[in-house]
Amino acid sequence: MTRPWPSLFLPFLLLSSLALAAGCDDGPAPASCKGEPISCPILTDEDCGLQLGCLRHAGDCTGVPTSCSSEFSSFSCESQPGCFWSSFSESCSGSAEPCELQIDEFTCSQVDGCFAGASTCTGTALKLIEE
C-alpha cells in the first residue's frame, strides 16, 4: 500500500522552506517576499543551506596523505584509511588512500596530510512573488 504522506506534507514543507529565503517574512503562511534575493556565492555555509535555490558544495580534499610506514601507533595507523596495524611486528603497513578519495570535509580533515578546501555556495536564490 502506498502511503500518501509525502504529498500531504509537501505544501507545508514548501511553505516552511520558502519562509527561510532571503527577504521573506517568517510569519504565518502564505509567506511573502520583498526585494531581491541575496546572491548565493556571498552566503556563509550555514546561510547557503537555508537559502532556497542555493546549494553548498564541499571544498576539494587535497594534499599528500602520510605514508603508512610513518604511523607509529595502532591508533594513528588505523585512523589512516588504507593502513593496517600489525600487532606481531608492531608496525603499520598498507597504502594510504589519496586525499581526493575522501568523501567529505570531516573525513578529509581526519586523514594525516589531507586538507579540506573552502566550500562554495552556488545556484540561483529564489524570490517569491507576493500575491
pLDDT (tens digit, 0 to 9) for every residue of the chain, 131 residues total? 444 444 433 333 333 444 344 455 555 555 555 667 778 888 888 888 888 888 888 788 999 999 999 999 999 999 899 999 999 999 999 999 999 998 888 889 889 999 988 888 888 887 655 44
Distance in angstroms (rounded) separating the CA atoms of residues 48 and 125: 9
Q: Are 68 and 82 in contact (CB under 8 A)?
A: yes
* Distance linking the first and last C-alpha atoms of the chain: 38
User: Quick one: pLDDT at residue 6?
Assistant: 42
User: Quick one: pLDDT at residue 40?
Assistant: 87
User: The pTM is what?
Assistant: 0.52
Whose cell is 594525516? That residue is 112
User: Quick one: pLDDT at residue 91?
Assistant: 96
User: Quick one: pLDDT at residue 26?
Assistant: 52
Distance in angstroms (rounded) separating the CA atoms of residues 78 and 85: 6
Beta-carbon contacts of 18 under 8 Å, excluding residues fewer than 6 positions away, are: 24, 31, 33, 52, 128
- Segments making up each domain of the chain, as ranges: 11-20+30-131
Residue 64 main-chain phi, psi, to 5 deg:
-125, 115
